[in-house]
């Protein structure tokens, strides 16, 4: 897969990771033999990973801490200066992404759950990472209205080539909110680095659509990546019992939840009898039963040439890594990996050199790097 230079972040990220002393675990796929090298462990439900220009890494812990991995070692102290947040149910500190010009401005963005007297919601804050602390932290986005549920915060973020930030917000466990375009829940929002609606958003000229919306009808997106060749935004979202979806998002598109779904309710009863309706998009791919997907990366590295162009998705419920072979924008093969590891895979990231990185979701979570067996 060829990388388009204009779609590579302007942060000047370099891969300077040192060799790790921890013994690797070996696994086999249809096309390759690989191992996992443990970069860090002892993390409390790690949620997201970001690569800094000097080769160190930032890791969020859902429990409300931002951690630094430097020279292959997890620093014992959490980074101070985080915004006020709440750890409740599925909520806590979620994603971390760097500004496309981080090298120059040291700016990063955090998504997290926040509580007030009106309830909880998903927020995004911007801050300066300097001197191993955050400063000048400012809230730039808040999904409204708030509610008292502790589910489906979404929280995945990604920048596009124009410097616009995409933020997913789940339906908060109140499914009908995803079809209300005057309610921020259940969709993806596209904003500027200051939190303003991005130019071209579908609601800018429509009073019935909130002006930060990019898409709606999304249940709970926890995987999001920008395709390195096309610039398209690829996402996946949790279904209920079945109906996890992969979608290529288009501005102003309704993805149907809960009016259409390939899943059923947790009670075993139907949510709807419809899997398609006019004006609602069909998924590129779906899972039934549910795998509970989280984290997503398109492989562009050179360690595994046979994986070029594959989409990798972590699975929480079924505890595996899924490799999807993509041809002409369609899934043509699916392979389950790491089933013997028996770990909930929370995040899947492509490193600056295209290498594949994983986070495991547990009270003793790990950071893994996927490497070829020589």
The answer to whether 221 and 156 are in contact (CB under 8 A) is yes
CA atoms within 13 A on the CB side of 171: 23
Site of tokens 């009106």: 118
CA distances 367 to 27, 220, 255, 318, Å, are 17, 24, 33, 19
242 burial via Cβ count (<10 Å: 0-12, 13-18, 19+): middle
Q: Which two tokens stand for residue 287?
A: 């899972």
Pairing of strands 365-372, 356-360: antiparallel
The answer to whether 199 and 191 are in contact (CB under 8 A) is no
Catalytic residue among 99, 114, 152, 236: 152
Q: Which two tokens stand for residue 59?
A: 């890791």
Torsion of CA 75, 78, 79, 81, to 10 degrees: -170
Per the annotation, the verdict on 164 as an active-site residue is no
Residues taking part in catalysis? 152
């Amino acid at each position: 897969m060829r990388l388009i230079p204009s779609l590579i972040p302007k942060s000047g990220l370099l891969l300077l990771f040192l060799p790790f002393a921890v013994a690797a675990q070996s696994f086999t796929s249809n096309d390759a033999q690989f191992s996992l090298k443990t970069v860090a462990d002892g993390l409390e439900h790690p949620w997201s990973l970001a690569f800094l220009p000097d080769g160190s890494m930032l890791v969020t812990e859902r429990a409300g801490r931002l951690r630094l991995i430097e020279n292959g070692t997890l620093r014992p102290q959490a980074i101070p200066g985080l915004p006020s947040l709440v750890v409740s149910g599925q909520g806590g500190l979620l994603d971390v992404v760097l500004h496309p010009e981080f090298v120059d401005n040291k700016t990063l963005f955090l998504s997290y759950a926040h509580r007030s007297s009106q309830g909880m919601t998903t927020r995004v804050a911007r801050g300066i990472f300097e001197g191993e602390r955050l400063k000048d932290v400012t809230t730039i986005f808040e999904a409204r209205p708030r509610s008292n549920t502790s589910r489906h915060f979404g929280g995945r973020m990604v920048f596009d080539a124009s410097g616009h930030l995409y933020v997913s917000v789940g339906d908060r466990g109140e499914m009908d909110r995803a079809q209300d375009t005057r309610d921020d829940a259940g969709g993806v929002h596209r904003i500027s680095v200051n939190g303003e609606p991005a130019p071209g958003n579908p609601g800018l000229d429509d009073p019935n659509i909130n002006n930060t919306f990019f898409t709606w009808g999304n249940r709970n997106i926890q995987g999001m990546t920008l395709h390195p060749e096309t610039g398209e935004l690829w996402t996946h979202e949790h279904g209920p019992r079945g109906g996890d979806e992969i979608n290529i998002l288009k501005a102003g598109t309704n993805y149907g939840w809960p009016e259409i779904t390939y899943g059923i309710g947790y009670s075993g009863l139907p949510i709807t009898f419809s899997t398609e309706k006019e004006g609602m998009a069909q998924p590129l791919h779906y899972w039934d039963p549910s795998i509970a997907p989280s984290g997503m990366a398109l492989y562009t590295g050179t360690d595994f040439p046979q994986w070029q162009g594959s989409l990798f998705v972590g699975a929480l419920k079924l505890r595996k890594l899924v490799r999807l072979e993509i041809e002409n924008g369609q899934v043509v093969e699916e392979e389950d990996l790491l089933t013997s590891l028996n770990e909930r895979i929370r995040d899947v990231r492509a490193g600056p050199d295209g290498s594949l990185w994983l986070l495991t979701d547990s009270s003793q979570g790990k950071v893994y790097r996927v490497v070829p067996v020589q």
